[in-house]
Amino acid sequence: METSYPCTCKLNESVDAAPQSVELKPGEYLVELWGASGGCNTKQRSGKGAYVWIRLNLVESKNFTIFVARTSTYSNITMVKGGCNGGGDSHQGTFNDGESLIAGGGGGSTSIGLSLLDSDRIAVAAGGGGCGNDYNGGNAGGLVGFDGISRTGTEHRRGASQEGSGMGGYYGGYRAENGKVKKGGKGTGVGFNGGGGGGGYYGGGGAYEAGGGGGSSYKKSGYYVRIQSGSETFRSPSGNEETGHYGNGFARIKFLSYPYAFSIINDIDFQFSILFFIVYKY
């Protein structure tokens, strides 16, 4: 038995995703999270989202809160909002003709926790940075996000880490916005467009006329969690292999086993209208 949680955000709404709540009964579960990719006109230049899986062993019922991210879009004539749940906005420069000048917003992060509080987050799959000015967005990180590809003469838009957010790119006295907790930095520039940073535990830095940095993923101590960055190969939501996640964020919870010697389940639907008949072994 498994249930999927697709993204419910609307495009160009750079806000927190609406939380989706679920009560899990005693048992063992596999939770999978995919962060969203950054906005760009080509898949190759988009910063890719991370993948996280968690094994939960519950001896009692618990409530969990899930946030599912959205990717961003791109433009060569206007600023675009980052993907909901933490993606940084892109920047519109004064030169706006030609597809090589496209910039995209950062992708948001997908997470699961015990409540709405940041301190209760169990795991976060970070989002990738948006491309900008013909440069790639940075991929979402494991515990450290990847930098965007640097424009000549600029400082890198740093990916985030567990210690802090990514720093915005810098050039000619101008600096793009630094990332924040959960939020990627906004891109900037003068003549050219800059990509937004990816969302995550900490957000990646915005770009100065280049691609934004990727966000950092997260795992809480005391839980069995594996994180794979947006540069690694893992299973996609559809079951195929992908190198970094491209598209909207996604979450899935799969029931694996019961905690007791013998159980019978009547599986009605995943909104956990489920009847457990447990025979306890004394």
| pLDDT tens column, 166-186 | 766 666 666 677 778 888 887
Contact 178, 189 (CB under 8 A): no
What span, in angstroms and rounded, lies between the C-alpha atoms of 61 and 158? 40
pLDDT at site 152:
55
pLDDT at site 269:
35
Q: What is the pLDDT of residues 236-269, one digit of tens each?
A: 999 999 999 999 999 999 999 987 543 444 333 3
Q: What is the pLDDT of residues 71-86, one digit of tens each?
A: 998 887 778 888 988 8
178, exposed or middle or buried, with CB in 10 Å at 0-12, 13-18, 19+? buried
Question: What are the average pLDDT values for consecutive 10-residue runs of the chain, which has 282 residues?
Answer: 76 70 94 95 90 95 94 84 89 65 89 92 94 85 76 60 68 70 80 82 82 90 94 95 96 87 38 31 33
Numbers of helices and strands, H then E, in the chain = 0, 18
Which of 264, 238, 266 shows the shortest CA–CA distance to 252? 238
What pTM did the predictor assign? 0.85
Its sign, for the CA torsion 22, 204, 102, 34, is: negative
pLDDT at site 16:
65
Partner residues linked to 256 by β-bridges: none
